[in-house]
Structures are given as structure tokens and as C-alpha cells.
Amino acid sequence: MSQPYYLSTAISYPNGAPHVGHAYEAIAADVMARFQRGLGKDVYFQTGTDEHGLKMAQTAREQGLTPAELGAKMSSMFKTMADDLGITYDRFIRTTDADHHRAAQALWKKLEERGDLYLGRYEGWYSVRDEAFYNEDELFKSASGEKLSPHGTPVEWQVEETWFFNLSAYQQPLLDHIAANPDFIAPKSRRNEVVSFIEGGLRDLSVSRTSFDWGVPVPGSEDHVMYVWLDALTNYITGVGYPDGGERWDKYWPADCHLIGKDIIRFHAVYWPAFLMSAGIELPRQVYAHGFLLGEGGVKMSKSLGNVVDPMAMARRHGVDALRYYLLREVSFGQDGSVGEEGLVTRVNAELANSFGNLAQRTLSMIHKNLDGVIPAAGAEEADAALLEKVRVACEEQLPSHFEGWSFEKGIEAWLQAVYACNAYVDEMAPWALRKTDPERMAAVLGTLAAAIKPLAEAVLPVVPTGAQSVLDQLAAGEGGAPIAKPTPAFPRLEMKTEDA
Ligand code: MSP
């Protein structure tokens, strides 16, 4: 039986159109899901939308819609984005799904049975944009004197009757768990951040609201709705069959990794494990927090600066493969990084079109033209063997070990070095010149290149599924000695376009 692997993304607030940060997370998770499937694992991959809470309710009101209407309309945009970017999710979950309501209420009852919920009055700061409570000492003042959350969002003073979760009781258990499981929070910098937050002292958490009703009703207290984060985090267990259990639950829980952005680490690495501990549910194996995408020059993307990268426009102009490749290659995974259209075009042309694409195209065309399309056997000279060994190490050892540790850019870099080695080999061997002088050697050189291109395409398949599959299909047509057709470029050169073509 193959080993299970459960990976999730955060579920996005569908209060606006998806932006490149959402696309980035979905793509990174998809590359990991495809990579793990390639290793033979039985993958369950979940993504979706987080539709309750005050932020959704307020946005809906501004737009003259009900929150349910807004959620349905915008959630479908997120689903379309995922589909258009080739995201191979197994379930697109919505927190408005009926099974999710049931799971959230079941989890609530577990916390209650454990004696971890009590009724009280919350008085404190709340950021609707972050859907988060903050202590006074976490806030700072803007230039105009307005109080802001650590993420720079406005806060309001909230006074409300709420249910509290006994978070303070989990301070030591959480620290113990993090100490005993060094990979639970990654990268390391995030773990340190979480540990110091917990060590600073955990206060009980307000987990219900009474001033609005857009949420999952609290069982037994129908005038309360569950705090949107308690509701949203539950999606990770809803998707695998909580509370009923069963085959999917046994197979996939605990999740292997929750992939999230660094801004929501506290919810995933403090609140969520505390809820699970309280409910007696195993904790996920890892929470991995990626960095933030910024506009060119490292500034936050904003409409007024005109530096917003629209992932769908980018995919339409340059192709899905180009966008996927660029985002994972450009930014060190786990860190923040700047992205922009010029950077995409330059990098994709240099690395995909001119390097790998051209390598595959040149090799296949020479085989097509000079060898009647029949793929020859690889050569047996030292240079041939050395090249194939370099390719093998890059594709079978370096790229997989970097991908396994979420270092996509390093894995791609190792792959690219092998591509460069192939191009250097072509230039050195000059098969076009051998055509007349030594046709046998020409065939051996082209055979070596064909033998190199196949593992290179397979290795990069999770990142650029369309182009890499096209190379593999073109090669596969030649299996068993059948002639290959006139090749078509798998990674065309891009042009800088400002308007949608
Ligand atoms: N709804 C919550 C998550 C609930 S998970 C149980 C939420 N939604 S969000 O729409 O604001 O963000 C969704 C994901 O996108 C988060 O992981 C967030 O970090 C990520 N990103 C949002 N903007 C981003 C960038 N500019 N760059 C990279 N990722 C970013 O938070």
C-alpha cells in the first residue's frame, strides 16, 4: 500500500478577487502534491475558501449582497483560478459546506466536554481585516495616531459576551510539543517567533461572537456564532471525514503539512494545535509558513502604485507554466520576494525557453531531420557517461531532496545546472558538424541528449506540467524505435506585453 500524504493550503477569504499571493500558495502546494505523487505516495490535497466572519459580512454589506451571495460568487473565482493554474486539489472545501458546519460544531462540543470553554465578556482590540484579537502591547500607532495591529490593519475596541477557550492551559503542552517535534513549525525562524509568542504568556481566547450572525452557530448557544478562525481551521479535519472517522480519516490524518503564509502562523501553530489537544486529536506533522510576495523593489503591491501582479492576466499572457516556474524559482521559499512581469519574462526566457526548451527542441529536431526520427542509443564515451551521471544526480538526488524540504528554488537550480551541462555538451560535441565527418558519433551524441532530456523533463514535471509533459510525449512517441514527429517547442519564448493578447 502506498504511503499517504495529506497537504493543505490555507483557505482564502473570498472577499475580493484572488491575487498573486493566493496563486503563489496554491502553486507551491500543487508542486509539492505532484512531487509527492511522483514519489508514489497516495496524496490528499485540499484547498478552498473561508467564508464566514465579520470581514465577509462587512464586504457583502458594502456590495449590497448577502454574505452567502458574496461567498458563492467570489469562491467560484478562487476555484476557477485553481483550475486554470493546474492545481490538482482533491477537494475544494468551502466553510459554508454542510459537512463543514457539522464538523465545526462537533469540534466545539469536544472542547466543551473537555471543560475548556467558559462564558465570559471580551473587552479588547479586534482587527476585522485580520479577524484577530490583539493585546494592547502588540499595537502601534500610525503617523496619524490611529492604533494599528502588528500587520498594519485598523483595530476596533470590542466589548461582547463570548465563549472563551482555555488557551492558557496549553502554554506548556504547546512548548513541549514544539520542543519534541523540531520540524513541527518550519522554517526555523517561524518556530522561534512562535516559541517567543507562547513564552510571552497565552491568554484565553474569545471563540464566539454575538454581535453578528454570519457563522456557524454555537451548539446550545444559538445567539453565538463560532469565531471565524475556530470554524476555518476545522476545515482541515472536515475534509478527511471528521467527526465520523472512517477510511479517509484513518489514512490521511494527521496531515503531513499545512502550507500557509507567514502572517497566519499564530493561528496554525498556537490556536489550532491547542484546539486539537483539547479535543484529543493528533496534531498535524508540520505547519510550513512561506513568505510574502512583494512588488518590484520590495514594496507592498497596491493598486495605487500600479505594481499589482494579477496572476490570471500573467497566466493568460505568458502561460501557466511560465507563471508557476517563475514564482517558485524567483523567490527563496520561506522568504519574502519581489515579483514582476519583466522579471518573469526575462527569467523564463533565459531558463526555460533558451535553456531547457531549446535543448529539447534542438535535440528532437536533429533526430527528426538527420536520423529519420529514430531516437538512437546513448553514447558510451566518458563525456557521455559523465553528462548522464550529472543529470541523474540532479534529477534523482538533488532536486528531490530540496523539494522534500520545500526549497523549490534550490531544487530548480540543481536541475538548471544539469540543463546547462547538457547545453555545454551540445556546443562541445557540435553534432551538426559530426553529421558529415562521423555520423555514428553524431547519433551517439543525440542519443545521450535524448537520454538526458527524459529525466530532466520528469524531474521538472511538477513545476511546469504542460511543457514537461509535451517533451515527454514527444520522446515517448519514439519508444520502441518508432520515428518521432517534427518537434513542437514545449517552452516558447515570451515577449513583454502590457495588454492582454
Ligand atoms: N482565511 C484565512 C486563512 C484561513 S486557513 C484556516 C486567510 N485568508 S487570506 O485570503 O487572507 O490568505 C490566504 C493565504 O494567502 C494565506 O496563507 C496568506 O498568507 C496568503 N497570502 C496572502 N497575501 C500574500 C502575499 N502577498 N504573498 C504570499 N502569500 C500571501 O488568511
pLDDT at 402: 98
Which residue carries 502604485 as its cell? 305
All three cell numbers of 97:
459546506
Crossing angle of helices 311-318/20-38, nearest 10°? 60
Domain-embedded: residue 433? yes
Distance in angstroms (rounded) separating the CA atoms of residues 165 and 153: 25
Domain-embedded: residue 461? yes
Closest Cα to atom 24 of ligand 1: 21
Residues ≥6 apart with Cβ < 8 Å to 199:
175
DSSP code per residue over 364-389: HHHHHHHSTTPPPPPP-SHHHHHHHH
Domain-embedded: residue 460? yes
Crossing angle of helices 408-429/358-370, nearest 10°? 40
Q: How far away, in angstroms, is 22 Cα from ligand 1 center? A: 6
Q: How far away, in angstroms, is 12 Cα from ligand 1 center? A: 6
All three cell numbers of 433:
558538424
Q: Which atom of ligand 1 lies closest to the CA of 272?
A: 6
pLDDT at 499: 55
pLDDT at 501: 45
Q: Which atom of ligand 1 lies closest to the CA of 260?
A: 17
Domain-embedded: residue 237? no
Contact indicator for 155, 124 with CB cutoff of 8 Å: no
Residue span of the structural domain in which 406 resides: 341-481
DSSP code at position 198:
H
Instruction: Report the amino acid identity of residue 202.
Output: L
Domain-embedded: residue 271? no
Mutate to test the pocket of ligand 1, among 51, 87, 263 (most ligand atoms within 8 A of CB): 263
Q: What is the pLDDT of residues 407-432, one digit of tens each?
A: 999 999 999 999 999 999 999 999 99
Residues ≥6 apart with Cβ < 8 Å to 181:
285
DSSP code per residue over 2-36: PPEEEEEEEEEP-SS---HHHHHHHHHHHHHHHHH
Closest Cα to atom 9 of ligand 1: 12
Mean pLDDT in runs of 10 for the chain (501 residues)? 96 94 98 98 98 96 97 97 98 98 98 98 94 93 92 94 98 98 98 97 97 96 97 98 98 98 97 98 98 88 78 96 98 96 96 98 98 97 98 98 98 98 98 97 98 98 98 95 96 81 45
Domain-embedded: residue 467? yes
User: Model pTM?
Assistant: 0.97
Domain-embedded: residue 411? yes
Instruction: Look at residue 333 and give its three-state secondary structure.
Output: coil
Q: Which runs of E-coded beta strand occur in 150-269?
A: 156-165, 185-186, 205-206, 208-209, 217-218, 221-226, 257-261
Q: Which atom of ligand 1 lies closest to the CA of 10?
A: 5
CB atoms within 10 A of CB 377: 11
Domain count across the chain: 1
Domain-embedded: residue 356? yes
Query: Domain holding 397: CATH number?
Result: 1.10.730.10
What H or E segment, with its residue span, contains residue 121? strand 117-127
